[in-house]
Amino acid sequence: MLNTNQAIHVTGHKHPDSDTICSAIAYANLKRKQGLEAIACRLGEVNHETRYILERFGFEEPKVLSDARMTLSEIDLDEPITISPETTIFEAWQIIQNEKRALVVVDQNQRVLGLVTNSNLSSIAMGDTAKSIELLQKTPISYIAQTLGGTLVYEPETPRLNGKVSIIAVAEHKLENYELSDRTVILGNDTEAQLQAIEKNAACLVVVWTKKISDLVIAKAKEKGCAIIISGQGTLNTSRYLYYSTPVRFIMSTELLSFQRSEYVDDVLAKLLKSRYRSYPVLDEKRHVYGLISRFHLLNARKKKIILVDHNEVSQSVDAVLESDLLEVIDHHRIGDITTSKPIMFRNQLVGSTCTIIAQLYDEARIPLDGKMAGLLCAAIISDTLNFKSPTTTPTDINTGQRLARIAQLNTEDLAKDLFTHGSGLKDKSIEDIIENDIKEFTLGKYKVMVGQMSLYDVEVIEPIRIELIKGMQTYADDKRLDVLILLFTGLENNKSAILYAGKESWIATDAFDGITNDKLVYYDVISRKKQVMPRLSAIIEENGH
């Protein structure tokens, strides 16, 4: 088999923040230590702060996961057996008998030209004589000699085979009643018969039961342009194998249904149900053959194994998440709309950071944390709890964070200052980067809402770009068809947030926060999106009967 990928994909939400990236990395690592193959994944670009954390503690960015459905590159396929278009039917038949699968015909650059199946070969063995004559007419004489395991004694510059074959294995020399012009003639070790066949304009002599051809016969053959082959087979097999000497380019199937290895299993299966063939080539990005697929592979393909961390809502999750084999959810947010067809491990705790839960899971599994992993988890907890000042912070977060800091030999105050200054710097960020730094989508009644948050050491750094940022927010809201877009800029020093807003239903924001305006930075005693912002928005919408 070519490829088996049954790894567990551990992923956070779209527009990932530090908590979602670090919890995916740490939980995938825990699963691997427990003997499971697990891969940390992400659904979007890593933000500036998270990149700072990863670089500081020596971790690679997780791989991108674009869809929860399995692609052809992630399931078992038959390994392709490739042949050239000049492979003879005889050679192809021998390979198929041994391998029991179709053969892929490729050019010198390994690009697919066609497919040779049992059906193609059987059509020659059992097909109409006229077809066999047509094919033999096109067959190079050297291919005939090769297939017969024989010796090519002489080959004229211009062959003239008409595809018809006569078998003349007789002792007498009387060939008067035979029409041999341009034919391939199979005959025995009889010099006079050979000469007579050449005189009657035979195009090719295939001589059986001999090791040498008379010089006289060779000379006559050269004079008349008649090829001579000494067969390595007896009369019966010579007559059979002769028709298998044609190159497969003349019989291969060329109107192929092929697939890219990046295509999804369900999509391919729907197409295959409308087709009659048994095997289909799967191609890579360079259109090289990657494997062969059949209905068997698709019907037996497993779903992609997924573990969700730091979220449990479909709108925030990987595309087609409900079509995956969802194994676990580890989260600290409200219960969303993720549904499953079987019981799963669902852990939702009232803490300020998913990484707090992940650290607990290490303890419960009795797997010690090294300094790097402890530092990674500690930094994410500090980020998500705003250095333990967010109202979502619990004693569990504080105790866990301090314990991780001791393992990693860190000072939490120094780490927090580094995160919210160097980590969240704006100098390298575009307006869209700022908007999507840590943003989540919610459905409140009939309204589509997105709320983003950025933690800064000094929020006033936003003022010089405030007008440009509001314009960018309005464009973003229009493009995403949002009813309202709200951004919180939370300061570590004053423990407050400045709030900006955009969208066609901006009244939701202005009603939820008294005195809010985009004309200047107005600060509110609000630092938690989960506990302080979303409840206000929900209440305002309910009050207005929406």
Mention every residue, 6+ apart, whose C-beta is less than 8 A from residue 394: 350, 351, 352, 356
Residue with tokens 């070969």: 121
User: What's the rounded mean pLDDT across residues 226-235?
Assistant: 96
Burial of 533 (0-12, 13-18, 19+ CB in 10 A): buried
Residue 490, SS3?
strand
Mean pLDDT (the chain, rounded)? 92
Per-position b or e across 421-438, b if 16+ CB within 10 A of its CB? eebbebeebebeebbbbb
**Residue 278 CB: number of other CB atoms within 10 A?**
15
pLDDT at 6: 79
Asked if residue 130 belongs to a domain, the reply is: no
If one counts the domains in the chain, the total is 4
Domain end residue (candidates: 245, 265, 291): 245
Burial of 323 (0-12, 13-18, 19+ CB in 10 A): middle
When pLDDT is cut at 50, 70 and 90, the band that residue 169 belongs to is low
pLDDT at 410: 96
Residues 326 and 403 in one domain: yes
Asked if residue 16 belongs to a domain, the reply is: yes
As a whole number of angstroms, the distance between CA 81 and CA 115 comes to 10
Residues 179 and 236 in one domain: yes
Report pLDDT digits (tens) over 55-74: 999 999 999 999 999 999 99
Which domain CATH number covers 467?
3.10.310.20
As a whole number of angstroms, the distance between CA 398 and CA 359 comes to 12
Asked if residue 1 belongs to a domain, the reply is: no
> Is the torsion defined by CA of 90, 94, 95, 96 positive or negative?
positive
> Is the torsion defined by CA of 333, 335, 337, 343 positive or negative?
positive
User: What's the rounded mean pLDDT across residues 336-358?
Assistant: 95
Residues 151 and 105 in one domain: no
Q: Which DSSP state fits 521?
A: -
Report pLDDT digits (tens) over 97-136: 888 889 999 999 989 999 999 888 888 877 678 889 999 9
**Residue 136 CB: number of other CB atoms within 10 A?**
21
Q: Are 38 and 23 in contact (CB under 8 A)?
A: no
Domain end residue (candidates: 395, 422, 449): 422
pLDDT at 1: 39
Which domain CATH number covers 374?
3.90.1640.10
Between strands 227-230 and 204-207, the pairing is parallel
- Greater confidence (119 vs 195) lies with 195
The dihedral region occupied by 499, where left means phi > 0, alpha psi between -120 and 50, and beta the remainder, is beta
Report pLDDT digits (tens) over 285-306: 988 999 999 998 998 888 999 9
Across 117-121, 313-317, 322-326, 343-347, least confident range: 117-121
When pLDDT is cut at 50, 70 and 90, the band that residue 546 belongs to is low
Residues 536 and 480 in one domain: yes
Residue 46, SS3?
coil
Asked if residue 50 belongs to a domain, the reply is: yes
Residues 185 and 286 in one domain: no
Which domain CATH number covers 231?
3.40.1390.20
pLDDT at 321: 96
Which domain CATH number covers 79?
3.10.580.10
Q: Which DSSP state fits 38?
A: E
Which structural domain, as residue segments, surrounds residue 437?
431-543
Q: Are 265 and 279 in contact (CB under 8 A)?
A: no
When pLDDT is cut at 50, 70 and 90, the band that residue 94 belongs to is very high
Q: Which DSSP state fits 532?
A: I
> Residue type at 200?
K
Residues 154 and 254 in one domain: no
When pLDDT is cut at 50, 70 and 90, the band that residue 419 belongs to is confident
- Greater confidence (386 vs 379) lies with 379
Helix (H) or strand (E) holding 441: strand 439-444
pTM, two decimals, is: 0.71
When pLDDT is cut at 50, 70 and 90, the band that residue 425 belongs to is low
Asked if residue 385 belongs to a domain, the reply is: yes
Residues 314 and 204 in one domain: no
pLDDT at 239: 92
pLDDT at 171: 44
Report pLDDT digits (tens) over 8-67: 999 999 989 999 999 999 999 999 999 999 999 999 999 888 999 999 999 999 999 999
Residues 416 and 311 in one domain: yes
To the nearest whole percent, how much of the chain has pLDDT over 70? Answer: 97
Asked if residue 2 belongs to a domain, the reply is: no
Residues 60 and 105 in one domain: no
Residues 336 and 400 in one domain: yes
Helix intervals (H) in 153-214: 191-199
Residues 328 and 193 in one domain: no
β-bridge partners, 490? 455, 497
Maximum separation of any 2 CA atoms in the chain, in Å? 118
Asked if residue 198 belongs to a domain, the reply is: yes
As a whole number of angstroms, the distance between CA 22 and CA 18 comes to 6
When pLDDT is cut at 50, 70 and 90, the band that residue 170 belongs to is low
For residue 413, pLDDT over 80 is answered with yes
User: What's the rounded mean pLDDT across residues 257-270?
Assistant: 93
User: What's the rounded mean pLDDT across residues 155-184?
Assistant: 83
Residues 335 and 391 in one domain: yes
Domain end residue (candidates: 245, 260, 275): 245
Asked if residue 374 belongs to a domain, the reply is: yes
User: What's the rounded mean pLDDT across residues 302-314?
Assistant: 95
